[in-house]
Amino acid sequence: MAAGAAALLGGLVVAVSWRDPLPGETGLLELVVVTDDGWRAVASAVAGATDLLPLAVVTGVLVAGLLLRGRARAAAQVAAASAAVWLVNPLLKSLVARPRPDLADLPEHLSEYAFPSGHAANTAVLLGGLAVVVLGSPGSLRRRVVWSVAALAFLVVAASQLALGRHYPSDLLAGWLLAAAVLALLPTRRP
């Protein structure tokens, strides 16, 4: 699965580098960017909660909790997967150098480039790492519940980034593929 996710990510890098934005992305983004201050505030709150610093703190708490429970291997895997995504994402942003959409006013603190979405990648590696490393075998009920909650979180994060006009849809897909490629390298825990 790691090779498949990496290959899809590579294909997306080529596609975005060749044609930016991809067909239909601007039109879709024009439909979903919100101008209502109330909805922008909600989307901004989601974006703030899924910035790198808050997710790094949550990851640190998860790693510390695993260490306190004697799960050093799981702690190392979550930390390594997260660190890999945190390091590779800005490198890919610089490599592709895709400007952010210009459909909405963007905060000055945002990085210049949009591809891949750090919010999507960082949320996916945290929640995916929790499911893969911490919560048991692939068919376990706990893991299915976490993946269901994670899928909802992925959609909420994506919706907030699109509503704020910060990313094209392919930026979000690229973030998820980056996290999937890294997570697929982790061994699953067997009960």
Whole-number pLDDT of residue 109: 83
> Could you give the CA distance from residue 35 to residue 66 in angstroms, rounded to a whole number?
42
| Residues forming beta bridges with residue 14, ordered by sequence position | none
Determine the number of helices (DSSP H) and then strands (DSSP E) in the chain. 8, 0
Whole-number pLDDT of residue 190: 47
- Per-residue pLDDT tens digits for 77-127: 999 999 999 999 999 999 999 999 988 778 788 888 999 999 999 999 998
Query: Is the CB of residue 21 less than 8 Å from the CB of residue 171?
Result: no
Whole-number pLDDT of residue 28: 92
Whole-number pLDDT of residue 27: 92
Low-confidence ranges of the chain (pLDDT < 50): 190-191
What sign results for the dihedral spanned by CA atoms 134, 138, 142, 146?
Answer: positive
> Could you give the CA distance from residue 8 to residue 10 in angstroms, rounded to a whole number?
5
CB burial of 94-120 (b: ≥16 within 10 Å; e: otherwise) equals eebebebbeeeeeeeeeeebbbbbbbb
Domain ranges of the chain: 2-9+34-183
